[in-house]
A and B are shown apart, each in its own frame.
Chain A
């Protein structure tokens, strides 16, 4: 479970002064449910997810990852999170096996546990054919599978996806979407961000609309449509943020 409590992040910019990228954002994501953060570019989605995954420290407020406070024990929080974004890359000169092993070790797993987990993941994602090739030689879809395997090597209860399909071709994108579904089916807590309305409608059990760093509305898609009296999410979004 993820619980964000008044999560706030302020950046200092020489030209523009202080920018509130995330402004007192609170929400709860339950296990087995896909929670989508929906908003345009620059709304604060990525920053929110970076705060959850402890890549950034909140200016104020905090978040709890399965009850662990990210500001008090980031290390423990990190062990419970798997992170994947559309821009996440691979080490080109390593093979998928080496890549997964490296991250397994960073997450403190034993050699045996890594080998077992790797085997299972490579079965699941059908990766055995290219498991020893260099990552740089792989196709887009194969690379995406390596990224997925890397993100779940430690079998985390919580998955954070930051614009996971951005810049991907149809096939790679499909792989990711299926993977997100499976994570929720397995009972993991899943949060993901997107600026594509249709993706949110297709995938999310619950949606949070974020704009200018603030969380405007939360709920299921039908719920939001009813509340705004619109028949599609795009109109509802415009109606909510008032532009």
Chain B
């Protein structure tokens, strides 16, 4: 093994790769253009959806309105964001069915003896029908419940006063909760889960085209044989090529990370005024170093596997179809960052891709457990080495190189 040969091969492959438009697209263009667009698009979509739903008036219908006491009827019509659908348009229709169809957000059922039971201080039940799968319907339920509970509190107060008691008897103290922007929290969580996934997928996609081009491409162009008869060894070729594929993978991953952080800090921030300060994503040096450490051996695994698949393929096209299949094998484990409850442990730390996904997720939320990081690093590095050895083995096999 001569280092000068490896350097020669690495430099040539890097030059060649950087002149390839497809590689540049996956390595540079997608991270630097598509990710900001995606981030901003996704955020503004989420924001506008939620705001729209919150602002929207809920369409409700009350069955048995004539049994309502005047005060409650007044409260319903005064309540903000609630609009009663006119009786005429609902004449003869089943209200519950209307809710199910989405023509109504909520139906209130008042029992006919409501007023009388209230007078006699007996329990009666008001039924609400809504569709929890619909955000609009859910909001309607909250609003109606609020109106009813205000009315109930008023009655309780009146009854207590009638008996010479104060409301303090039933409520020794009050709890006042203040909503601290549930929207921002939600987005923080979303990005915390989407980021590891994106980094890993971009790492794979960045390495994909160079790997296909540097191995299957040699067969396709008819240059493989000229390499095989040159004095450089097959091992030197594999290492030079492996280096370039690994590099493009790492660069793609870091560009996506950088571009995502940039879009969150500068683009989405404007959109939501200071949102990023409450997004639990913090990128200090430690996080960046950690992400680099975890991505490097992972890119090594990708490079080894991709090169093996690629040299096995007879043509560029065949390599592409193998790699597409392989893509799914990466997407699924990378997806664990989306799953609540899956946490890093000694077992998950051993599984490549899964470990990287979970560790990056933890790093973003600032709760790094170093023992698992160590396990994952060792495991991934060993696998990356094995993948390199395996691809070297295949570069030495005549039946793979000259596959008919």
Contact = CB atoms under 8 A, between A and B. Distances in A.
B230 A103 contact: yes
Contact of B16 (A50, A88, A94): A94
Nearest to A92: B221
Contacts of A83: 225-226, 229
A106 B402 contact: no
Interface stretch (A51-59, A117-125, A218-226): A51-59
Contact of A106 (B16, B231, B399): B231
A79 interface: yes
Contact of A93 (B20, B225, B228, B398): B20
B222 A55 contact: no
A41 interface: no
Given A105-B8, A106-B5, A91 B221 contact: yes
B47 interface: no
A190 to B, nearest CB: 16
Given A56-B402, A78-B229, A103-B230, A89 B222 contact: yes
A79 B227 CA distance: 12
A57 B398 CA distance: 8
A69 to B, nearest CB: 16
A53 B229 contact: yes
A98 interface: yes
Given A57-B398, A106-B5, A88 B15 contact: no
Contacts of B231: 75, 78-79, 106-108
Interface in A45-69: 50, 53-57
B238 to A, nearest CB: 14
Contact of B8 (A50, A55, A102, A151): A102
A75 B235 CA distance: 13
Interface in A111-165: 150-151
B16 A55 contact: no
A103 B226 contact: yes
- Quick one: which of B20, B230, B233, B398 has the most chain A CB within 10 A? B230
Contacts, number: 71
Contacts of B12: 91, 94, 98, 102
B163 interface: no
A148 B399 CA distance: 28
Counting chain B residues whose Cβ lies within 8 A of the other chain, the interface size class is 20 to 34
B8 A88 contact: no
A88 B4 CA distance: 25
A93 B12 CA distance: 11
B229 A54 contact: yes
Nearest to B236: A106
Contacts of B8: 102, 105-106
A54 B234 CA distance: 12
B122 interface: no
A153 B398 CA distance: 26
A240 interface: no
Nearest to B21: A93
A212 interface: no
A81 interface: yes
Nearest to A82: B229
B72 interface: no
A172 interface: no
Contacts of A177: none
B6 to A, nearest CB: 11
A87 interface: yes
B229 to A, nearest CB: 4
A1 interface: no
B223 A89 contact: yes
B83 interface: no
A168 B221 CA distance: 15
Given A56-B402, A102-B8, A106-B231, A93 B223 contact: no
A192 to B, nearest CB: 15
Contacts of A151: 226
A29 interface: no
- Quick one: which of A57, A78, A151 has the most chain B CB within 10 A? A78
Contact of B221 (A12, A89, A98): A89
B400 to A, nearest CB: 12
Contacts of A26: none
Contacts of A102: 8, 12
A201 interface: no
A102 B231 CA distance: 12
A214 B231 CA distance: 29
Contacts of A173: none
Contacts of B16: 91, 93-94
B232 interface: yes
Given A106-B8, A108-B231, A93 B222 contact: no
Contacts of A94: 12, 15-16
Contacts of B230: 78, 103, 106-107
A176 B136 CA distance: 77
11 contacts: A50-B225, A54-B228, A85-B222, A87-B222, A88-B222, A89-B220, A89-B223, A103-B230, A106-B8, A106-B9, A106-B231
Given A87-B222, A93-B20, A150-B226, 15 more contacts: A55-B225, A55-B228, A55-B401, A81-B229, A83-B225, A83-B226, A89-B222, A91-B16, A91-B221, A102-B8, A103-B226, A103-B230, A106-B5, A106-B227, A151-B226
Interface of A: 11-12, 50, 53-57, 75, 78-79, 81, 83, 85, 87-94, 98, 102-103, 105-108, 150-151
**Nearest 10 pairs of A and B residues by beta carbon:** A89-B222, A89-B221, A93-B19, A106-B230, A105-B8, A55-B228, A53-B229, A87-B222, A83-B229, A78-B231
